[in-house]
Amino acid sequence: MKTTPIIAILSAISAWLFPWWSVAIAAGLVGVIANLKNAAIAYAAGFAGVGLAWSSYIIYLNFQNQGLLLSKIAEAFSLPASGYLIALTILIGSIVGGFGCMTGVLLRRVIEKGRSQNP
């Protein structure tokens, strides 16, 4: 599966340049272009791709900050441990990435059907 790292790279670039939810569009684009077998696989690819991008960046940010802000924000939200906040962050990116990629694949199906009906 080459799709996941491609989504990871594309979604990182788009989140760097555009609002956070642009990761859905990035994952969706990959979904349109890459020939994925079905919606479930597309969802998994988007989920893993954005999750990979977000988790690697978080690990770096948290390392250079030595977990200082992470623990404060976890406390502000009354979370029992910092890990919940990391998981929540990655989960949100992943879910949005998953839906984005899935929507992309389903769009591809619409286009494919359109072509096959009007050759």
Partner 1 sequence: MVKPILKFAVSLLITIKVIYLLNTSPAEWLIIGSRLKDSPAAMLPPVGKFLDPFNGFWQNAEGAIPVLPQTATLKELQAPVEVVFDDRLVPHIYAQNEHDLYFMQGYITATQRLWQMEFQTHAAAGRISEIVGNKAIEFDREQRFKGMTSSAERLVEAMKSDELVHSITNAYADGVNAYISQLSYKDLPIEYKLLNYQPEPWTTVKSALLQKKMADDLTGNNSDIQLSNIVTVFGKSAADLLYPEFIEGQDPIIPAGTKWDFTPVEVKKSNASVKDTTKTGYNFPLDHRGTRLSAPQPQTEPTVGSNNWAVSGSKTQSGKPILCNDPHLQLNLPSIWYETQLSAPGINVYGVTIPGGPGIVIGFNENIAWGVTNAGVDVKDFYNISFKDNTKTEYRYNNTWKASTQRIETIKVRHEPDVIDTVTYTHLGPVAFEDYGEYKQNLAMRWKAHEPSNEFKTFYLLNRAKNYSDYEAALAFYECPAQNFVFADKDGDIAIWQQGRYPLRYKEQGKFILDGNKPEDEWQGFIPKEQTPHIKNPQRGFVSSANQHPTDATYPYYYQSNDFEFYRNRRINRRLAEMNKITPQDLQKLQLDNYNLQAAESLPIMLSYLKPDELNEVETTVFNALQSWDYYNDADALAPSLYENFWQSLLADIWDELGNRPDNLAMVYPENGITIQLMDKQPNHEFMDNLSTPERETLADLVKPAYSKSIVALAKWAEANLKPTDWGNFKGTSILHLARIGAFSKTDVYCGGNYGVVNATGKRAGPSWRMVVAFTDNGIEAQGVYPGGQSGNPGSPNYTKFVDTWAKGEYYPLRFVKTPDAFKTGESFAVQQFNPTKN
Eight-state DSSP code of residue 71: H
In the bound state with partner 1, the residue whose beta carbon lies nearer, of 1 and 21, is 21
- Span 46-105, contacts to partner 1 by CB under 8 A: 54, 57-58, 61-62, 64-66, 68-73, 75-76, 85, 88-89, 92-93, 95-96, 99-100, 102-103
Residue 75's alpha-carbon distances to 21, 92, 100, in angstroms, are 26, 19, 31
Residue type, 73: I
Residue 70's alpha-carbon distances to 47, 50, 53, 77, in angstroms, are 23, 20, 18, 11
Task: Please tell me whether residue 107 binds partner 1 under the rule CB under 8 A.
Answer: yes
Interatomic CA distance for residues 118 and 113, integer angstroms: 9
Eight-state DSSP code of residue 26: H
Task: Please tell me whether residue 24 binds partner 1 under the rule CB under 8 A.
Answer: yes
User: What are the residues binding partner 1 (CB under 8 A)?
Assistant: 12, 15-16, 19-21, 24, 28, 39, 54, 57-58, 61-62, 64-66, 68-73, 75-76, 85, 88-89, 92-93, 95-96, 99-100, 102-103, 106-107, 109-110, 113-114, 117
